[in-house]
Amino acid sequence: MSDSSVDYDKLLDKINLWAQEIGFSQVGISDIDLSEAESHLQNWLAKGFHADMDFMHKHGSMRTHPAELHENTIRIISLRFDYSNKTIIPYEDVLTQPDKGAISRYAMGRDYHKLIRKKLKVLAEKIKLEVKGFNYRVFTDSAPVMEKAIAEKAGLGWIGKHSNLLNSKAGSYFFLGEIYTNIPLPISNKASFHCGSCTKCIDVCPTKAIVAPFQVDARKCISYLTIEHKGAIPQEFHQAMGNRIYGCDDCQMVCPWNKFTQDAKVSDFLPRNQFDEPDLEELMSWDKEKFLKNTEGSPIRRIGFESWQRNLQIAIKNKP
Ligand code: SF4
Ligand code: SF4
């Protein structure tokens, strides 16, 4: 949909301004050609690196053909939302304390899905007031969307060798959100690649899950094993898990670009229940009722009490 009465360059300036006011840190625009990402995805799936995340297979070509997911999409507005905070006890310090549990930084506070979704809608509704015929759908880690590939095309960063998105001014501790739309906004320049010859993330990975640059084998990844995987975690990974009880930030922790991490503009992601340095025995003493109460509104609740206990048991077994 192109409306000749609309100056799309000026509209983009306004979108940038509104996005900042709402709490986003960066905006970029991509087209909908994801053919490069599609071949990477096919290759990754063919190798079985998705483990039992069967949802990666579902939805056919919708994941890499945005207009199939939301009709008439010609552009995607990609947005960055920082979640870290300098006041949080450093993850690397927690890794050296076997009595404590290490939780991925993004999961210590409020569940981001609803919050970011709401903010994306606020932004989209502002655009709708400006452009007649503006049609949209918002996403944040919620549907078959190639978030990182889209963000890379939209200039928000490059996909690092650990397969996370990296930004030269903000590191990698941020969420992404997308607005699929039918208006011809000016397309941003793709970000350039700045990993160079560095291999720190590959070298540090406790389970050697980064089997080659940009190739994470989920079957070995602690993030996958502690969050997505149901049932027992294979014995071969127990020792390497150490005290990591929900996710794993090691490959991000060592990345030199994370010295540029930006603080969140909101307090929602600050640790709850001392989740930046929780005592393992205390967590283990929670019954199901207490687990549900203490993880209300937290992403941790999504894995359920059984997986939570499974992870804790391994961390406690790893105590010297
Ligand atoms: S999240 Fe942890 S286990 Fe997974 S690739 Fe990164 S360092 Fe390895
Ligand atoms: S640790 Fe090095 S190789 Fe890995 S993502 Fe960061 S810059 Fe790239």
CA distances for 69 relative to 137, 144, 247, angstroms? 9, 8, 29
Query: In the chain, what are the domains?
Result: 8-86+109-181 (3.40.109), 200-317 (no CATH)
pLDDT at 23 (0 to 100): 94
Q: In this structure, which residue's CA is closest to atom 1 in ligand 2?
A: 255
CA nearest to 46, candidates 35, 36, 57: 57
For residue 224, the 8-state DSSP code is I
318 with 240: CB under 8 angstroms? no
Q: Which ligand is nearest to the CA of 160?
A: 2
The pLDDT assigned to 46 comes to: 75
User: HSE (CB half, 13 Å, CA atoms) of 194?
Assistant: 19
* Rounded CA separation 262/37 (Å): 27
**Tokens read off for 144:** 């078959």
**List of residues 6+ apart from 265 with CB closer than 8 A:** 23, 25, 82
Ligand 2: atom nearest CA of 213 is 3
- In the reported structure, the alpha carbon of residue 13 is separated from the centroid of ligand 1 by a whole-number distance in angstroms of 37
Read off the pLDDT of residues 75-119 as tens digits, 9 standing for 90 and up: 999 999 999 999 999 999 999 999 999 999 999 999 999 999 999
Residue 112 C-alpha from the chain's centroid:
10
233 lines ligand 2 (CB under 6 A): no
Write down the pTM of the prediction: 0.93
Atom 6 of ligand 1: nearest residue by CA position: 251
Q: How does pLDDT run across 244-292, given as a tens digit for each residue? A: 999 999 999 999 999 999 999 999 999 998 899 999 999 999 999 999 9
Residue ranges lining ligand 1, Cβ < 6 Å? 162, 205-207, 209-210, 216, 221-223, 248, 250-251
Amino acid at 291: F
State the catalytic residues. 141
